[in-house]
């Protein structure tokens, strides 16, 4: 859409889009390409449709991994992980074979933290830092909730953090979030709203938001698409110097999370696209407990997923 031009460097930026899916979805992908043509945007120079992972990943600068097996009624957690680890092991192996050595890989498909871990595991010649998981959707949701609570615009809310696994244990944290005033002054959100809301209603809304939307309209395509664009804009062009955003990235040991775990953290990104976890934030005991709760869930999920992946 018109937003593509703004997010990726203006009218002079050119993109070639490659869409990959299973054979049964090939006709539907053709419909997607027709709609992209109908947008009449200079930014898109062409589209390719393929059912081959190797063809999809060869030569691309950014790979966005969207599809996974959904959690169907009656499906056990182990069955869900087994189906998805097979997909993401094959994806990692294809990236290992054909991907550019500086590719950026964004994992959207859930469970995105664990899917990112499995994909990176099977692309060992790539750095784990070239893989990220999407927590920007929950970041944006949290920004919106804070803005509505305070009667402000979302653009005035900064430094919200989404911690942890993309699951019912993720924790939206506004402890270090600020509101920018017209006079340049910054006010801490935590001083403007009560703890009962930040630790109660906000957490409940963010954790349940996807189910609420899907229950009403069956999908979250608009907000997910915007979150992907926001994530990639920050990863490619960097974040404002005094602001951080949320990404699921490999931990380097901060905040009691062991190294190597794909965990949503507050991050800053340089203009060259280097992602760094924000260190030194003071966490209260409540927040620390939420991080450990999410880590324990993610650790167990990741251990099972890697065992299952090794069996394929």
Mean of all residue pLDDT scores within the chain: 92
* DSSP type of residue 257: P
As a whole number of angstroms, the distance between CA 238 and CA 90 comes to: 30
Cα dihedral across residues 77, 79, 81, 83: positive or negative: negative
pLDDT band per the 50, 70, 90 thresholds, residue 47 = very high
pLDDT digits (tens, 9 = 90+) for 225-273: 999 999 999 999 999 989 999 999 999 999 999 999 999 999 999 999 9
User: If you count them, how many residues does the chain have?
Assistant: 312
Overall average pLDDT of the 25-52 stretch: 94
- Would you say residue 129 has pLDDT above 80? yes
Measured from the Cβ of residue 281, the count of other Cβ atoms closer than 10 Å reads 17
Closest C-alpha to 53, from 15, 88, 91, 2: 91
d(CA 261, CA 299): 8
Helix/strand number for the chain, H first, E second? 10, 13
158 is catalytic: no
* Contact by Cβ (8 Å): 312, 86: yes
Whole-number Å distance between alpha carbons of 25 and 39: 22
Q: Which pLDDT does position 83 carry in this prediction?
A: 86
The yes-or-no verdict on residue 172 having pLDDT over 90 is yes
pLDDT at residue 1 is higher than 50: no
Q: What are residue 249's phi and psi, to 5 degrees?
A: -135, 165
CA–CA separation, 251 vs 298, rounded Å? Answer: 12
Read off the pLDDT band of 2 (50, 70, 90): very low
In the 3-class helix/strand/coil scheme, how is 35-54 assigned residue by residue? HHHHHCCCCEEEEEEECCHH
Are the C-beta atoms of residues 133 and 248 closer than 8 Å to each other?
yes
Q: Which two tokens stand for residue 57?
A: 């990943």
- What is the distance of C-alpha 211 from the center of its chain? 17
More confident call, 185 vs 266 = 266
* pLDDT over 80 at 5, yes or no: no
- Record the pTM: 0.93
Specify whether the CB–CB gap between 162 and 171 falls below 8 A: yes
For the cut 90, the answer to whether the pLDDT of residue 177 exceeds it is yes
Whole-number percent of the chain with pLDDT over 90 = 82
Residue in 61, 68, 106, 108 with CA at minimum distance from that of residue 85: 68
Q: 118 pLDDT exceeds 90?
A: yes
Among candidate residues 166, 176, 231, 244, the one labeled active-site is 166
* Closest C-alpha among 133, 86, 123 to residue 103: 123
């Amino acid at each position: 859409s018109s937003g593509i031009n703004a997010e990726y460097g203006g009218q002079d930026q050119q993109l070639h889009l490659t869409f990959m899916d299973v054979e049964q979805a090939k006709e539907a992908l053709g419909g997607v390409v027709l709609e992209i043509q109908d947008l009449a945007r200079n930014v898109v120079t062409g589209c390719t449709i393929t059912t081959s992972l190797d063809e999809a990943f060869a030569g691309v600068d950014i790979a966005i991994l969207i599809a996974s097996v959904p959690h169907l009624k009656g499906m056990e957690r182990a069955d869900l992980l087994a189906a998805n680890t097979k997909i993401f092991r094959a994806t990692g192996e294809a990236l290992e074979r054909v991907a550019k050595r500086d590719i950026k890989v964004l994992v959207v498909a859930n469970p995105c933290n664990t899917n990112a871990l499995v994909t990176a595991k099977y692309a060992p010649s790539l750095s784990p830092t070239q893989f990220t998981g999407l927590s920007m959707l929950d970041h944006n949701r949290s920004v919106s909730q804070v803005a509505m609570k305070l009667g402000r615009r979302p653009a005035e809310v900064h430094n919200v953090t989404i911690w942890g696994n993309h699951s019912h244990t993720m924790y939206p944290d506004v402890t270090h979030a600020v509101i920018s005033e017209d006079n340049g002054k910054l006010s801490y959100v935590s001083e403007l709203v009560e703890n009962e809301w930040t630790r109660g209603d906000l957490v409940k809304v963010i954790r349940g938001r996807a189910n609420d939307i899907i229950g009403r309209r069956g999908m979250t395509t608009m907000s997910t698409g915007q979150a992907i664009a926001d994530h990639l804009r920050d990863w490619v062009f960097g974040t404002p110097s005094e602001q951080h955003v949320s990404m699921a990235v490999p931990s380097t040991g901060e905040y009691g999370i062991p190294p190597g775990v794909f965990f949503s953290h507050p991050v800053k990104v340089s203009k060259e696209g280097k992602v760094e976890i924000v260190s030194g934030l003071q966490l209260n005991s409540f927040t620390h407990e939420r991080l450990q709760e999410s880590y324990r869930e993610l650790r167990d999920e990741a251990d099972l997923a890697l065992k299952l992946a090794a069996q394929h």
